[in-house]
Amino acid sequence: MAHAENGITINRPAHEVYAFLADGLNNAAWRQGVQSISLKEGTAGQLGAVYSQTLAGPKGRPIQGDYRITEAKPGHLLGFEVVAGPARPTGTYTLTGDGGKTTVHFSLDVKLPLLMRVLDSMVTRTMESEVAQLATLKTVLESR
């Protein structure tokens, strides 16, 4: 199983950080590689919402990375699963608020099909790059 995780403290209250993360339409503001995103079904930021997302794949080719919100505990936990694309990780953002600061822990996991396991190290590197983008999230939120 490929796994990646990262954490960061953001100088914003947990409810504000959660609201920004939960609304997938904000992804392009902090996640490099998001070429387009739209709400496909459900209510933005709510349990069951599905976002249609086009990402820059290998060599810049567009790939689908649609995802569904699977857990939604405002201010505390946001979970998702990728439902379209070559790799289909699950992820969680766990938030711990302390006054006006929030520590965000972001983890990604994917169990690759047997035929794709030769790509495990490449997928892991991609996921590590994804969770490292929490630094950009911090910059974006703290500049608001």
pLDDT confidence band for 126 (50 / 70 / 90): confident
Residue 117 has pLDDT above 60, yes or no: no
- pLDDT on residue 120: 61
pLDDT for res 13: 97
Instruction: Please state the pTM of the whole predicted model.
Output: 0.92
Number of structural domains the chain divides into? 1
Domain range enclosing 11: 2-142
Instruction: Give residue-wise pLDDT tens across range 20-52.
Output: 999 999 999 999 999 999 999 999 999 999 999
CATH number, domain of 88, equals 3.30.530.20
* Residues 96-105, mean pLDDT to the nearest whole number: 96
The band of 116, judged by pLDDT with boundaries at 50, 70 and 90, is low
Per-residue pLDDT, averaged over 101-120, amounts to 80
* Cα gap 15→107, rounded to integer Å: 19
Local confidence band at 113 (pLDDT 50, 70, 90 cut-offs): low
37-95 pLDDT, tens digit per residue, is: 999 999 999 999 999 999 998 888 999 999 999 999 999 999 999 999 888 999 999 99
CB 104 within 8 Å of CB 97: no
